[in-house]
Every structure is written in C-alpha cells, then in structure tokens.
Amino acid sequence: MTDVTDETQNDLLLEHQLCFALTVASRSVVGAYKPVLDRLGLTHPQYLVMLCLWESSPRSVRDISDALAQEPATISPLLRRLEAAGFITRQRVPGDERTLAVGLTPQGAALRQQATAVPGTMMDRLGLTREQVSQLHASMMDLIAATKTGSDAPSRR
C-alpha cells in the first residue's frame, strides 16, 4: 500500500475536481448575471455578442465567433434571436455575397448606455474588488492557454 494509491483514490472525489468547481463557478456566475441582464432583455451569451458588437461593427459571423471562441454554428441562431429582438441587423456584404455584415440597430446601440452599469453592478453583487476580478481573470486566461498547449493540437483548421 503506497501513498500513490491513496492519492489516486482521493483524486476521484468529486469535491477535488477542478473541472467540477470550474463548471459550477461558471454556471453560478452566469446565473448571477441573469436578473441584471433580464432588465436588458438579453441572455448571457447574447450579452457577450453585444459587447463584441459595441466594440466594433459591423462584423462577420466568423469574426464574432472567433472573438467569442465559439463555433459559427452556435453564433448563427443566436444572431437570429438578437435580430428578432430588434438589437442587430443581418445583411449580406455587397462585395462578397457569402459573408454577413452583423450590425447594430438604433436600439442595439442605445442599449450600450444601460449596459455600462452591468460590470459595476456585478462586481458589487459578487462582493469582489477590481483587484480580485483581474486576478481571477488572469488565472482563467492562464488556464485557457494551458488547454491550447495540449499534446493533441487543436489543429488550427
């Protein structure tokens, strides 16, 4: 009976899994946004798309999906819902009939004003300082980087 055995047993405890803590934290934090984003009429993924467009627009689906680290197939129906909600426009680019120009409607642009309060509100609700947020942020970025250096390269398409 070695220590290794004990460690291995221990390693399978749910409470010790980083991946578990991470998924719970992600769902919990996103859940904490819900009441705040409800007032804007946005889900959390939709909020991220709007942040994306407030930074620069119009932009293509591929561009947005790269920025959000998600598949175009995920973004596509999401954009359709945002269009139905009246926040964005979807038009083909004149020069290139393949790509879509995703832009903001006046309501979509106006929503930004209300959204400026969100980050501060959330920091308050979570009881985090700006310092703590940026430290956690840095940890997450490191973790993301770690998943990209894995043995089986994601093979940049």
Q: Which residues are near DNA by CB under 7 A?
A: 23, 27, 31, 43, 45-46, 60-63, 69-81, 90, 95-100
Q: Does 110 bind a second copy (CB under 8 A)?
A: no
Which of 38, 79, 33 minimizes the C-alpha distance to 59?
79
Nearer to a second copy, 31 or 96 (CB): 31
Give the x/- contact pattern for a second copy in 6-45, rule: CB under 8 A: --xx-xxxx-xxxxxxxxxxxxxxxxxx-x--------x-
Q: Residues in the site for a second copy, rule: CB under 8 A? A: 8-9, 11-14, 16-33, 35, 44, 48, 51-52, 54-55, 67-69, 112, 115-116, 118-120, 122, 125-128, 133, 136-137, 139-141, 143-144, 146-152
